[in-house]
Amino acid sequence: MKHFLTLASAYLISAWALHAANLSLVHDGLEVDAGSLGKFIVEYPTFSDAQQKPVHKLVERKAAGKSVTIKYEDGAQVEMAVGQGGQVTMTMSSIPSDVKHFDFQMQIPIAYNQGGSWKMGDKTGDFPKTKPASPHLFQGHAPSLNITNYEGKTLTIATPEFSFLQLADNREWNWAIFHFKSVTPYDASRNTVTLTITDAGPAGGAKAKPLVDSFGQSAREEWADKVKSVEELKADVAAEKKYYDGLQPPARDAFGGLPGSKEKLGLKGTGFFHVEKKGDRWVLVNPAGNAFFHLGLCGVNPNDDYTLVKGRESAYEWLPSPQGEFASVFRPDSGGTIVSFHLVNQIRKYGQPYGIESYTARMIERMRKWGFTSVGAFSESGEQARKAASFPTVSHLPLNFWEGIPRIAGIHETFDPFDEKTRALVQKNLANVLPGKANDPLIIGWYIVNEPIYEQIPHIVPTLNGSHACKLRFVQWVEEKYKNIAAFNTAWGTNATSFGALTDVGLAMQTDAAKQDAIAFASVFLDEYMKLVCENTRKHDPNHMIIGSRLQPGTISHEWISRVMGKYVDVMSFNYYTYGLDTGFLKRIYEWTGGKPMFLSEFFWSSPKDSGLEGGRDVNSQQERGLAYRNYVEQGAALGFVLGIEWFTLVDQSVTGRWFSGFDGERSNSGVISVADRPWKGMLEEVMKTNYNIYKVYLGEKAPFVWDDARFKVK
């Protein structure tokens, strides 16, 4: 989230204990840690012209403790320093004449619609529970923004004189956050301003109304299927047995594939998952040689339903004790601070402590009844249960930062392929892990990383210094291209004395030639990255497919990224969140990759009205979630190159957000079952229509379902 400039005067909250928020300067801006109010990012300032169009992009930031130097195109510079009392001074210099405003932006978590409110000047309001008719909650001049959470705690951000403030609900644009923006006229005679950020506790120590009931459900919302008692949970055991016994999925082979399709389509049984092209249609083939469509669920193990409780105990009507009956519901090594109410309800329901193997076995049995064929991403545990059930899974290469592979600041989930230490770590991790997995027939393929932002490579690498191997390789690359520094200076609009002088200088892409060079080198970077990963993966595991990096739309839509990855992967993976499926867009990606097949590896819709949860793309009911699923999956399967999907997730996220995001985590109705372990039957009734008949659509024997709803029509 983002926070804003003030003159030295802080907005005082009478009778409340004001104190400075914990401030630090990080890569993306000023980080504000306000405890249970949340953690925010005030992005570094941007400049705009008289029409408020952005000018002079940020090209470099150099942080040193409590200060940072920010450089922009055309020589503009800002010095920011964190001082006492929540004050941050900002000094601007060498500002070009076309700069008329400086702007700040801040994101506010959607969780503030759980009893939160705002104040701007003399205007106040509640953060709306559902998307309002107008996205703009406030637009106008005001001295400050106050945001108050469900506890009555308040974060105050005062702004300079004459600032125009805007508070918006970004659900209007399919992004479940609130957004704050401050626009201040630039005055060259006053080039230093002060930002002061404070927070305060509730007046008189007022006790908050809990957000979460004793079953982990929203305490502030009601819906038809909400659990009211432990007796209801226990009664669910018999009721759900009857429900699952009544489901009759079609016959599948031992790996979930279509029986008889090996002979009918002339497919090969290699003992491992692989792809074959039959005419103009790609087919994913399982170890038995039959056609297989990857109908996966992400998170088939407790993960997103864990939540951090320490520091916001007042949010809960009741919390389990880390000792005794519920000891197993706490995340290991959390010291009793991170809990899963989903596991609490499993223990109440079945009378047994949580164990990953029994949990996974139970979930696989359910998934098969619903017609799902495999386990999706983020489901590494429960291996013995999956093997006993012969239930396929995707897996992840050991390339995460917690597995020792460092990232480049500013390029999300991306490591430096030119750095020798990093290369050695990549090779070591793959050599240590893959041989033990290479002969497992249940592994569909390997994901590389999750949602890297490769499109930042051309923007970030030129701004780095010589401590980064990729910057040294970039300087070498431009020297090889231009031969002499004069030619480079002409192309890039610089005045460097030598190529060596470029090493520790942040280079801005101010010319078309510079932009083209940066993208061209980014292709070299990504090619080296993919080559390193894929050659070493296949060296230690020749049997399993490489299924890409679960790219987001903003990444995969860059042609150069799709082309480079298409050279190396067996299957592209695309985390495609949308309403209507843009088949033209998918076909374009398919062409860019050289005709590589694809997984649509992450998506979901939520129904806040009957779940008490927010986030994601909203629909009006559980049945509509199922209709959206049918529309998406069947239209994808009919394309001839989409080989599978992964719904995110098995279990709903926690009301108070995912554990690893502290107080600000996602809290969506993403699951096919609730925190109370109840299946969302209205959704699943529609899902099963698609899952049970997927092979007819997949093989072109049946037209795909099309939902006649305006939100799901691609314009």
Q: What is the pLDDT of residues 96-115, one digit of tens each?
A: 999 999 999 999 999 999 89
Residue 140 CA, chain-centre distance (Å), reads: 32
pLDDT, position 16: 37
Entry field: residues in the chain: 715
For the cut 60, the answer to whether the pLDDT of residue 185 exceeds it is yes
Least confident of 182-196, 225-239, 468-482, 485-499: 182-196
pLDDT of residue 4: 33
Contact 118, 148 (CB under 8 A): yes
pLDDT in tens, 298-334: 999 999 999 999 999 999 999 999 999 999 999 999 9
Classify burial at 512, counting beta carbons within 10 Å of its beta carbon; exposed 0-12, middle 13-18, buried 19 or more.
Answer: exposed
Q: How confident is the model at residue 161 (pLDDT cuts 50, 70, 90)?
A: confident
Rounded Cα–Cα distance for residues 344 and 230 (Å): 11
- Assigned token pair, 170: 């970004």
Q: Is residue 698 over pLDDT 90?
A: yes
Question: Could you read off the pLDDT of 330-341 as tens digits, one per residue?
Answer: 999 999 999 999
What integer is the mean pLDDT of 162-188? 93
What are the DSSP calls for 651-710, one per residue? BPPPTT--GGGTTS-------SB-TTS-B-HHHHHHHHHHHHTHHHHHTTSSPPP----G
pLDDT of residue 364: 98
Provide the sign of the torsion angle of the four alpha carbons 523, 525, 527, 530, taken in this order: negative
Q: Decide if pLDDT at 8 tops 60.
A: no
Q: How confident is the model at residue 205 (pLDDT cuts 50, 70, 90)?
A: low
Q: Give whole-number Cα distances, 711 to 528, 610, 704, in Å.
A: 41, 20, 18
Residue 2 has pLDDT above 50, yes or no: no
pLDDT in tens, 364-376: 999 999 999 999 9
Cβ atoms 665, 654 nearer than 8 A: yes
Q: How confident is the model at residue 490 (pLDDT cuts 50, 70, 90)?
A: very high
- Residue 76 in this model has a pLDDT that exceeds 50: yes
User: Which pLDDT tens digit goes with each residue over 235-284?
Assistant: 999 999 999 999 999 999 999 999 999 999 999 999 999 999 999 999 99
pLDDT band at 5, cuts 50/70/90? very low
Lowest-confidence range among 67-71, 155-159, 564-568?
Answer: 155-159
Asked if residue 485 has pLDDT above 90, the reply is: yes
Q: What fold characterizes domain 18-205?
A: Immunoglobulin-like (2.60.40)
In 267-416 the beta strands, taken as DSSP E runs, fall at 274-278, 281-285, 294-297, 306-308, 338-340, 374-375, 393-396
Strand partners, 41: 31
End-to-end CA distance of the chain: 32
Contact 444, 374 (CB under 8 A): yes
* C-beta neighbour count of 243 within 10 angstroms: 15
Give the per-residue pLDDT at 19: 59
Element (H, E) at 629: helix 622-637
Contact (Cβ atoms closer than 8 angstroms) between residue 638 and residue 280: no
Report the C-alpha gap between 71 and 358 in whole angstroms: 55
Using the predicted structure, report yes or no on whether residue 381 has a pLDDT greater than 70: yes
- pTM reported for the whole predicted model: 0.92
Q: Does domain 230-396+576-712 have CATH number 1.10.630.10?
A: no
Decide if 286 contacts 253 (C-beta within 8 A).
Answer: yes
pLDDT at 85 over 50: yes
Give Cβ neighbours of residue 651 (< 8 Å, ≥ 6 apart). 299, 302, 304, 305, 342, 671, 673, 674, 675
* Portions of the chain given CATH number 3.20.20.80: 230-396+576-712
Residue 11 has pLDDT above 60, yes or no: no
pLDDT (average), residues 475-492 = 98
What's the pLDDT at 20? Answer: 66
Judged against a pLDDT cut of 90, whether residue 454 lies above it is answered with yes
Whether pLDDT at 17 is above 70: no
The two structure tokens encoding residue 97: 């004449």
Beta-carbon contacts of 14 under 8 Å, excluding residues fewer than 6 positions away, are none
Buried b (16+ CB within 10 A) or exposed e, 78-95: bebbbeeebbbbbebeeb
Which string of b and e fits 357-380 if b means at least 16 CB within 10 Å?
eebbbebbebbbbbbbbbbbbbbe
Q: What is the mean pLDDT of the chain?
A: 93
Q: Please report the pLDDT score of residue 713 as a whole number.
A: 93
Could you tell me where in the chain the CATH 2.60.40 domains are found?
Answer: 18-205
DSSP state of 403: G
Are 164 and 143 a contacting pair, CB within 8 Å? no
* Whole-number percent of the chain with pLDDT over 90: 86
Region 393-408 average pLDDT: 97
Torsion of CA 558, 564, 566, 567, to 10 degrees: 170
